[in-house]
Amino acid sequence: MEVGRGVRGLMRVILIVNFVAYLIVLGLAAWSIDKYIDGEQDHPHLGGNPSTSFMLIFALIAGAIGECSVLIGFTHLRAWRSDSLATAASSAIISWAVTALAFGYQTLEAFITISTVSQLIYVLLMHAGMLSTRFGPSYGSSS
C-alpha cells in the first residue's frame, strides 16, 4: 500500500479549494484597490473606513502568498518526498499566518475565512505527514 494514500486525495481537494479561494481574494482585492485608487471611496463595496487601503493591501499580499503556497503544495503532491514536504509545510504556515492577518474587510471576509480554514486544514495534513509515515512521507523516511 502506498504511503499516505488517503491523505493525498484529501490534500488534492483542499489545494483545489485553496486555489479557487485565493484567486477570488486576489480578484476582489485588486478590483477594490483599483476603485479605491480611482477615488471612489464612497462606493458601498468599499466603505469609508480609513483602514480600508491597508486591509486591501493585506488581502493582496495574502492572496499572492497563498497562490504561491498552493503551487508549492501541488509540487509536493506530485513529488511526495520528505524534502518537498518541508518546503510545502513552511510555505503553508506562512501563508496561513498572512491570510489570518487579512481579516477585517467586509466583502472579502467570507473568502478570507474560507481560505484561512482550508489553509489550516492543509497545514494540519502536512504536519500529520511530518509525524507519521501513515499519513505521508515523514522527515525520518529515506525515500
Q: What is the pLDDT of residues 68-127, one digit of tens each?
A: 999 999 998 888 887 888 888 889 999 988 888 887 666 677 778 888 888 888 888 877
Confidence of residue 137 (pLDDT cuts 50, 70, 90): low
The answer to the question of residue 77 being in a domain is yes
Task: Flag whether 45 is in a domain.
Answer: no
Query: What pLDDT is attached to residue 75?
Result: 93
pLDDT recorded at residue 1? 41
Which domain covers residue 122, as residue numbers?
A: 5-39+53-131
Coil vs helix vs strand at 120: helix
- pLDDT > 70: what percent of the chain? 75
Q: For the residues 59-71, what does the mean pLDDT come to?
A: 93
Question: What counts of helices (H) and strands (E) characterise the chain?
Answer: 4, 0
Kindly state whether residue 44 falls inside one of the protein's structural domains.
no
Residue 47 lies in a domain: no
Query: What single-letter DSSP state applies at residue 42?
Result: T
Query: Is pLDDT at 129 greater than 90 in this prediction?
Result: no
The verdict on residue 136 lying in a domain is: no
Are 77 and 8 spatial neighbours (Cβ–Cβ below 8 Å)?
Answer: yes
**Residues 79, 128, 108, 67, Cα dihedral to 10°:** -20
Q: What pLDDT does residue 45 have?
A: 60
User: What CA–CA distances, in Å, run from 34 to 8, 38, 65?
Assistant: 38, 6, 20
pLDDT band at 135 (very low <50, low <70, confident <90, very high): low
Is there a contact between 135 and 8 (Cβ–Cβ < 8 Å)?
Answer: no
Mean pLDDT over each residue of the chain, to the nearest integer: 79
- Burial state string for 39-72 with b = 16 or more CB within 10 A and e = fewer than 16: eeeeeeebbeeeebeebbebbbebbbbbbebbeb
Residue 16 belongs to a domain: yes
Q: For 47-109, give the DSSP string.
A: -S-TTHHHHHHHHHHHHHHHHHHHHHHHHHHHH--HHHHHHHHHHHHHHHHHHHHTTT-TTTH
- Summarize the confidence of residues 49-71 as an average pLDDT: 87
Q: Please indicate, yes or no, if residue 124 is contained in any of the structural domains.
A: yes
Asked whether the beta carbons of 63 and 26 are under 8 A apart, the reply is yes
Residue 13 within any structural domain of the chain: yes
What is the reported pLDDT for 47?
Answer: 60
Give the Cα separation of 63 and 77 in Å (integer). 21
Residue 59 has pLDDT above 50, yes or no: yes
Count of structural domains, the chain = 1
pLDDT higher for 133 or 71?
71
